[in-house]
Structure 1
Amino acid sequence: MNYKIGMRISPNIGKQGIGSAAKWAASVGLDVLDVPYINKEVKAVCEENGIDIGSVDGAGAVGSTKLLSKDKQARDEAVALIKKQMDEMSELGATVMFMCLIPEDINTSRKESFHLWKETFPDIVKHAEQTGVYIALEGYPGPAPQYPTIGCTPEMLRAMFKEIPSKHFGLNYDPSHLVRLGIDHLRVLSEFGDRINYCHGKDTEILAEELYECGNLAATFGSQYDFSEGSWRYTIPGHGEVEWDKVAVRLEKIGYRGPVSIELEDHRYWGSLEAEQQGIVKAKEHLALYLK
């Protein structure tokens, strides 16, 4: 197996500009860059540095989104924006749109959000099919205590994929979220392998003492780490519970041919340009043991 390894752009690397991010990524042996938007300039700087464009963030669809608004006009406007972006992606050769579907009102139940999703996404996915774009749905469950995101559990994914069977609507496989939720990250690959449109390289450490203190609830008085809610914390690959050797084998078995893109969320490699660069390099080195 020989998978390309890429990265999402972390804050301090992003402050240098996309051109500098692409140049640095290529210099440390990365193959792919996920970008917050796509235009001719972004495409050009990636090509100049010999690096592929991975996923493109869906406009207004990463985090709180009007795609799940209770206001129909707001939903319609959000759908029009996404379809316009798909047209632009198609013209520039980008094929993966990254989304994280948190309802505009975070107190909206996941069941209600699912019904709102059914109102908007059939039209979106039809346009994705026409433009050659593949939607990759992020599994971050959203903020505590509501955890309102849809598409982060097998129960919800199964319902969504039954409603929209098109391969153009799929998931971004990120095992870190599955581990923190107590979901078998390898079984998800087995069940939903044909709907995996992208993959993130991120890990989760389960903190035994904190798990005793607060169970799987968010810590009452705040967690002691960034990128944590108490009994777990996000880490770079290799510092958590994810079995990357088995993930690699299963990715190959299901026929996944996309990249594995590092999403840096680890308090030990955060807060400065140097720390972020160190974290990404360490993550890349670990993933390369199994993916290259």
Structure 2
Amino acid sequence: MKLGMLTACLPDQTLEQIAAWAARAGYEALEVAAWPAVGDREFTASHLDVVSLDQARADDTRALLERHGLGSAPSSLAYYDNNLHPDPDERARVNAHVAACIDAAALLGTETVGTFIGRHPGRTVAENLRDAEEIFAPLVDRAGERGVKLIVENCVMEGWHPDGYPGNLAYSPELWEWMFSLGLYLNFDPSHLVWMGIDPVEALAPYVDRIPHAQAKDIQLFPDRRNSYGWPGIAVGRESDPFTTGWWRYRVPGLGDVDWRRVVDTLYAGGFTGVLSVEHEDPVWGGTEDKVHTGLEVAYRTLRPLIVA
């Protein structure tokens, strides 16, 4: 197992700047943000232009990572968007960019591409699952032909649903089993399970062999506030920030409620040999690059003692 980080938390820095800092901080790998270079979607970061990537640029990227001791390729390419977007044109663009990420991963020698299932909020879960089966079949085939695994993060993406219900149909072990039947894999993140009421360690243990890559994000719960809102969170005035439930917030590992000793031990017990990649979305240690760096340092100090050097 290696300890890495997702570059999306530093959207204004270049990949070279991030690589240099990550190496100094002790990280061993980079999960590289690969959203389209232009766009106004939330969480957008672009540290690799996958659309224009050719073999020469891929070789330059590999050389950059090797120069900083961050492996011979990104641990994964990250493009987390709604593959079931209700607008058909936007859906087609998202699906096409996932395909471009798969092609780029093959050029780089990167084993995985991360994305979301997503959801059309105007259709039932059953209808969405049938749509996803059609959409992902050619993407899974494309990935397999190029020696790449398509991995899905179990983020709930409640802000994508107008009423705060799950906007990414990958939030539970029941849905993981459905994903696996399509040839998809899991990019495991324990934080999302905690607020869903699922024990992340119990959920993780049976599926480690379907997890080629994992993310490390923590979560801090405020159960007294949940007594006011219930599980779905704030209902009145939520339009201003659909991702704020009011009773929990993401933290960097070590500052929340995830038991990282048990998570890492369970990964080891299941034979996990991939990268555990820190995903920094902590509002306390966010807002400036210096604070983001501090948050990443806290995460490193928390996780490094748990991972065999």
TM-score class, shorter-chain normalisation, is 0.7 to 0.9
Task: Give the match for residue 245 of structure 2.
Answer: 229
* Cα gap change, 1:226 to 1:109, in 2 (>3 Å): closer
d(CA) in 1 for partners of 2:296, 2:91: 36
Tell whether 2:250 aligns with 1:247: no
Task: Give the match for residue 26 of structure 2.
Answer: 29
Q: CA deviation at 1:221?
A: 5.0
Task: Give the match for residue 82 of structure 2.
Answer: 64
Q: Please, which runs of 5 or more residues in structure 1 have no aligned partner?
A: none
Note if contact 2:187-2:211 (Cα within 8 Å) is conserved in structure 1.
yes
* Cα gap change, 1:76 to 1:280, in 2 (>3 Å): closer
SS at structure 2 position matched to 1:252: helix
* 1:121-150 deviations in Å (ceiling 9; x for gaps): 222212212211111211111115232211
Task: Give the match for residue 188 of structure 2.
Answer: 173
Task: Give the match for residue 158 of structure 1.
Answer: 177
Q: Please, which runs of 5 or more residues in structure 2 have no aligned partner?
A: 35-47
d(CA) in 1 for partners of 2:166, 2:94: 22
* Cα gap change, 1:226 to 1:78, in 2 (>3 Å): closer
Note if contact 1:69-1:116 (Cα within 8 Å) is conserved in structure 2.
no
What is the CA RMSD across the aligned residues, in angstroms?
2.5
Q: CA deviation at 1:243?
A: 1.2
Task: Give the match for residue 135 of structure 1.
Answer: 150
Note if contact 1:222-1:230 (Cα within 8 Å) is conserved in structure 2.
no
Task: Give the match for residue 218 of structure 1.
Answer: 233
Tell whether 2:63 aligns with 1:44: yes
* 1:8-67 deviations in Å (ceiling 9; x for gaps): 1244x3312111001000011001111123442433322222213111024xxx2223x5
* 1:133-178 deviations in Å (ceiling 9; x for gaps): 111211111115232211111222222323x2x4xx2111100000
Note if contact 1:151-1:157 (Cα within 8 Å) is conserved in structure 2.
yes
Report % sequence identity: 27
State the one-letter code of the partner of 1:33.
L
d(CA) in 1 for partners of 2:135, 2:94: 9
Tell whether 2:15 aligns with 1:18: yes
d(CA) in 2 for partners of 1:70, 1:227: 21
Note if contact 2:286-2:292 (Cα within 8 Å) is conserved in structure 1.
yes
Task: Give the match for residue 145 of structure 1.
Answer: 164
Tell whether 2:277 aligns with 1:256: no
Task: Give the match for residue 76 of structure 2.
Answer: 55
Q: CA deviation at 1:70?
A: 7.4
d(CA) in 2 for partners of 1:27, 1:189: 31
Size of the aligned set, in residue pairs, is: 278
TM value normalised by structure 1: 0.86
* Cα gap change, 1:16 to 1:76, in 2 (>3 Å): closer
* 1:178-210 deviations in Å (ceiling 9; x for gaps): 001111101121222221121111111111321
Note if contact 1:172-1:197 (Cα within 8 Å) is conserved in structure 2.
yes
